[in-house]
Amino acid sequence: MKRALITGITGQDGSYLTEFLLGKGYEVHGVLRRSSSTNIDRLRHVYTSPQNTAGRLKLHYGDLNDSSSLDKILDQSRPDEVYNLAAQSHVRVSFEQPIYTVDVDALGTLRLLEAVRRQNPTIRFYQASSSEMYGKVRETPQDENTPFAPRSPYGCAKAYSYWQVVNYRESYGLFACNGILFNHESPRRGENFVTRKITRAATRIKLGLQDKLFLGNLDAKRDWGFAGDYVEAMWRMLQQPEAEDFVVATGECYSVKDFLDATFERLDLDWKSHVEIDPWYLRPAEVDLLLGNAAKAREKLGWEPRTGFAELVGMMVDHDLELAREEKAVQDFRAEGADEGPS
């Protein structure tokens, strides 16, 4: 049985990758950060799913900022493959916490690469690189040969990690790959990324739970795919005869306004009556347009996206509408109880 170690297992991609690898028969180990309230919501269902036969999912407390925990976890889990998905992944937050972001997203990768090199250099290593490295883009669409021009502490940290992965591959012969993934979303997306912020708010507006949605730059354009499709590309990269870097993208580009149109239209609403611009959500420097060319992944990995833009929006809206309905039902129940008074 193959063993995989996933950092960032509690995040959006970590949860989809866990399901995918369990489905392939792997034993899956994950790094869990200690917090005062449990943070395994995206994984809870996996514990009881048929995929988790014989308890093949195991979590270990650790942190990318703590080398000793990484050494210990590698020693305990003895993985064949390591997927480094852990990061402070929010671009605007990286302007508020640049040093912390670089510590986790840049030095954290180096700590893990060093731990792998020392413990077992035959481990196959996947690095969650990002289209954010293209920043102020030098060409469109972007592919594996497009130069980087990052525009945020997050983008700079990811570019550092990218080059360390290349460096460890070339210097020590590590089987280490960068997956340069363009934006990918899902019903499990964090609620402060723009797509999920929109689907959460629009569905709550539909049910009368809120009226306004405050956003920043509506003209930014992104290549949005579905996270569930993208984790398969990560795995495929590590099954290749040689370690290489790959762009993973849909090749289609939409603006934040387009995402608003698609979401609100699905709910028979007009976003212009509800959306207001709040400069708080603007960034000191913006990445205006990202559009990926995933031809190499298509050719060499046999990978292509299965979920289109409309389907992605639909899946997120349907999920969040259900959440809003549950919230409304609780609110109505409480209101009824209050009318009746204490029994």
Query: d(Cα 228, Cα 329) in Å, to the nearest integer?
Result: 30
**Catalytically annotated residue among 83, 126, 134, 154:** 154
Query: d(Cα 276, Cα 285) in Å, to the nearest integer?
Result: 20
258 and 190 in contact (C-beta within 8 Å)? no
Q: Which is nearer to ligand F7E, 175 or 271 (CB)?
A: 271
Contact between 10 and ligand NAP (CB under 6 A)? yes
Instruction: Give backbone dihedrals phi and psi of 340, rounded to 5 degrees, phi first.
Output: -75, -25
98 and 152 in contact (C-beta within 8 Å)? no
Contact with ligand NAP (CB under 6 A) among 21, 22, 87, 194:
87
Judged by the rule CB under 6 A, the positions of this chain that interact with ligand F7E are 89, 91-92, 130-132, 182-183, 192-194, 197, 215-217, 220, 222, 256, 281, 283, 286-287
Q: Which is nearer to ligand F7E, 68 or 192 (CB)?
A: 192
Q: Look up 130 and say whether it is catalytic.
A: yes
Contact between 176 and ligand NAP (CB under 6 A)? no
What mask, x for binding ligand NAP by CB under 6 A, covers residues 273 to 312?
Answer: ----------------------------------------
281 binds, among ligand NAP, ligand F7E, none (CB under 5 to 8 A by kind): ligand F7E
Q: Look up 132 and say whether it is catalytic.
A: yes
28 and 22 in contact (C-beta within 8 Å)? yes
CB of 288 to ligand F7E, least distance (A): 8
28 and 53 in contact (C-beta within 8 Å)? no
217 binds, among ligand NAP, ligand F7E, none (CB under 5 to 8 A by kind): ligand F7E
In sequence order, what E strands does the chain have?
A: 3-7, 27-32, 57-61, 81-84, 124-130, 175-181, 184-185, 213-215, 221-222, 225-226, 246-248, 254-255, 275-277
CB of 126 to ligand NAP, least distance (A): 10
Instruction: Please report how many Cα atoms fall inside a 13 Å half-sphere around the Cα of residue 190, on the Cβ side.
Output: 14
Instruction: Give backbone dihedrals phi and psi of 133, rounded to 5 degrees, phi first.
Output: -65, -25
Restricted to residues 64-83, the positions that interact with ligand NAP (CB under 6 A) are 64-65
β-bridge partners, 126: 83, 177
CB of 85 to ligand NAP, least distance (A): 4
Q: Look up 154 and say whether it is catalytic.
A: yes
Query: d(Cα 266, Cα 232) in Å, to the nearest integer?
Result: 29
23 exposure class (CB count in 10 Å sphere: 0-12, 13-18, 19+): exposed
CB of 128 to ligand F7E, least distance (A): 8
Q: Which is nearer to ligand NAP, 269 or 308 (CB)?
A: 308
Query: d(Cα 234, Cα 232) in Å, to the nearest integer?
Result: 5
243 binds, among ligand NAP, ligand F7E, none (CB under 5 to 8 A by kind): none
Q: Which is nearer to ligand F7E, 75 or 278 (CB)?
A: 278
Contact between 128 and ligand NAP (CB under 6 A)? yes
Residues 6+ apart with CB under 8 A from 114: 67
Contact between 130 and ligand NAP (CB under 6 A)? yes
**Catalytically annotated residue among 27, 81, 132, 185:** 132
88 binds, among ligand F7E, ligand NAP, none (CB under 5 to 8 A by kind): ligand NAP
DSSP assignment letter at 160: H
157 and 109 in contact (C-beta within 8 Å)? no
Contact between 11 and ligand NAP (CB under 6 A)? yes
- Which amino acids are annotated catalytic? 130, 132, 154
Q: Which residues bind ligand NAP (CB under 6 A)?
A: 7-14, 31, 33, 39, 63-65, 85-89, 104, 108, 128, 130, 181, 183-184, 190
